[in-house]
Amino acid sequence: MSFFENNTILISILSIVFLGSISSWGLSLEPDKITRQLIESRIKSSHTICVKGEACAKNAYIPPQADREPMAAAAIYKKYCTACHENGAFKAVKINDKAVWKKRLDEAKNGYKGLLEIVITGIGLMPPKGLCTDCSDEELEATIRYMVEFDPAAAK
Ligand code: HEC
């Protein structure tokens, strides 16, 4: 057998193997078998999101803030924030450090709203919401104002 003939046989065998595998790929990708349902079941998230008011959110945990009367800023400060802000524990801004509060307010993007965002997420050694986990945004913002604009004479 000449060298040329030998190679022809080899090429023929390779072609058969190659064509065979192409047709079997073809089979596994047969479009009729890939239904929309199958695709959706494969890309589906393992979580679902329920929005308040929807039937699926019926048993969802709702923070207790709805269950109590709104608290006054001074009361929230006394109950939650005083631990750090009264005497500057953990290097917190002291309640009557007017100059530092003013600087913080000036530096915050968007004024009080900016400070509110920082307090909600927490910063440095201050835990989220300054530990008042059931405080509403409005209550927190009022408390921040109370602290920034603190007037010792009015507090007595
Ligand atoms: C466990 C201590 C702690 C408690 C409780 C706490 N804070 Fe703070 N707070 C800090 C510290 C520390 C900082 C300074 C963080 C920094 O600048 O790294 C701070 C900073 C702030 C700032 C300035 C944020 C800024 O970036 O300028 C505001 C506003 C604030 N606290 C509001 C509150 C309010 C309102 C409460 C109560 C609801 C509260 N904090 C409770 C420790 C505390």
Ligand 1 pocket list (CB less than 6 A): 76, 80-81, 83-85, 90-93, 104, 108, 115, 118-119, 123-127, 130-132, 140, 143-144, 147
> Within 13 Å, how many C-alpha atoms sit on residue 149's CB side?
11
The pair of structure tokens assigned to 52 is 């308040």
The pair of structure tokens assigned to 139 is 């209550």
- Residue 152 Cα to ligand 1 midpoint, Å, equals 19
Residue 25's pLDDT band (cuts 50, 70, 90): low
Residue 53's pLDDT band (cuts 50, 70, 90): confident
If one residue of 71, 76, 81 were mutated to test the ligand 1 pocket, choosing by the most ligand atoms within 8 A of its CB, it would be 81
**Mean pLDDT value of segment 17-21:** 66
Using the atom order of ligand 1, give the atom closest to the CA of residue 127: 1
pLDDT at 27 over 60: no
Query: What confidence score (pLDDT) does residue 34 get?
Result: 73
- Residue 38 Cα to ligand 1 midpoint, Å, equals 51
DSSP string, the chain: --HHHHHHHHHHHHHHHHHHHHHHHHHHT-GGGS-HHHHHHHH--S-----TTSGGGTT----GGGGSPPPPHHHHIIIIIHHHHTTTGGGPPPTT-HHHHHHHHHHSTTHHHHHHHHHHH-BTTBPGGGG-TT--HHHHHHHHHHHHT--HHHH-
**77 and 141 Cβ atoms separated by less than 8 Å:** no
Is the whole model's pTM more than 0.85, yes or no?
no
Angstrom distance (rounded) from CA 39 to CA 16: 33
Query: What confidence score (pLDDT) does residue 57 get?
Result: 77
